[in-house]
Homo-oligomer: A and B are copies of this chain.
Amino acid sequence: MGSESEECSENEVILGVDGGTTSTVCVCMPLLPFSDHLPDPLPILGRVAAGCSNYNSVGEDAAKDTLGKVMEEALSKSGVKKSAVRAICLGVSGVNHPKDEERVLSWIRDIFPANVKIYIHNDAVAALASGTMGKLHGCVLIAGTGSISFGFTEDGRKARAAGAGPVLGDWGSGYGIAARGLTAVVRAHDGRGPQTMLTSHILDSLGLSSPDELIGWTYADPSWARIAALVPVVVSCAEAGDQVANEILNNAVQELASSVRAVVQRLSLAGEDRKGSFPVVMVGGVLEANSSWDIGTEVINCVLKTYSGACPIRPKVEPATGAALLAWSFLMKEILAGHR
């Protein structure tokens, strides 16, 4: 393997970027030598966070600016020159089509010379890689404010389910769960639905005195994240035995499991007998196991009924690191292919 030391100089680095709607993170890692085992912990030289880089939200100029800045600052923090960059992987929210990839690629090509390998993906791909440590295989389920299920096969096919926003039925998302909690309060108040503990708990948490005030509160600010912030209230009511809150969470579990199953089926990730093993990477606040009512575990239990080989993974590294590992594994593949 002497040739690798020629191709991978010790001072070379890779960059991983997780460009989301809420924040953008870049990590800089040394170019690890080819090996089946990654060092633990991973050697992160520098890490920088900034704001939104979804160009659908902030526009192309601001998105390009943010992406350029986090990479530049991560390099500076790592004490590394731009010329040391060997490969970059960006997982950027809003990248859904080849033309989106080309657009972001053209921005990054303006900054780095042609010999730098650049890989552009959707941010769900970085999240998947954060669980599989750089291997692009399996399914990732992200459930934060929004929700999406994204899957890849080893031969490069991909599929997604959900991720279409609240109007188009992302009912398992944090927004979906919280909006149903709010709806349950309105329905209990006007007589359409059963009484629920959610009424007092949600009103308390919002500092409101009557369900009548919920309409004004809801439409005063259209931000999805503001609604989704009520998920812990729904979870705590469910834990206290409230039936309405339990129904909302059970419904969300079914929704999320259904989006995973749809991806697994379309990609045949579990093989024809549906028993093959495949990773399911779980990311986002809704799936974090911080309560006795553990939505993530329930989703997996639900998926396991159909696909007994589903292997849940809660990532130990962040998506930006996943992107860096992805850049690394793509580069290694190219180097190995060049040696054949």
Contacts and interface: CB of A to CB of B under 8 A. Distances in A.
Interface in A142-196: 159-162, 164-169, 179-180, 182-183, 186-187, 190-192
Residue from the set A96, A186, A187, A191 with the largest chain B CB neighbour count within 10 Å: A191
Nearest to A215: B164
A214 B266 CA distance: 20
Contacts of A214: 164, 168
A97 to B, nearest CB: 8
Interface string A86-106: 000000000010000000000
A168 to B, nearest CB: 5
- Taking residues whose C-beta sits less than 8 angstroms from the other chain, chain A's interface range is 20 to 34
- Copies held by the complex: 2
A216 to B, nearest CB: 9
A262 interface: yes
Nearest to A264: B191
A192 B258 contact: yes
A259 interface: yes
B227 A191 contact: no
A186 B183 CA distance: 23
A263 interface: yes
Given A192-B262, A263-B191, A182 B162 contact: no
Interface in A315-332: none
A227 B169 CA distance: 14
A121 B187 CA distance: 23
Interface string A204-232: 00000000101100110010000100000
Given A191-B266, A266-B191, A182 B161 contact: no
A179 B219 CA distance: 18
A59 B165 CA distance: 29
Interface in A227-242: 227
A306 interface: no
Contacts of A215: 164-165, 168
Contacts of A179: 167-169
A22 interface: no
A190 B162 contact: yes
A266 B188 CA distance: 12
A69 B218 CA distance: 32
Given A191-B263, A192-B258, A262-B191, A182 B160 contact: no
Given A167-B218, A168-B218, 12 more contacts: A159-B190, A161-B191, A161-B192, A164-B218, A165-B219, A166-B167, A167-B182, A168-B182, A169-B183, A191-B262, A191-B263, A192-B262
Interface of A: 96, 159-162, 164-169, 179-180, 182-183, 186-187, 190-192, 212, 214-215, 218-219, 222, 227, 258-259, 261-263, 265-266
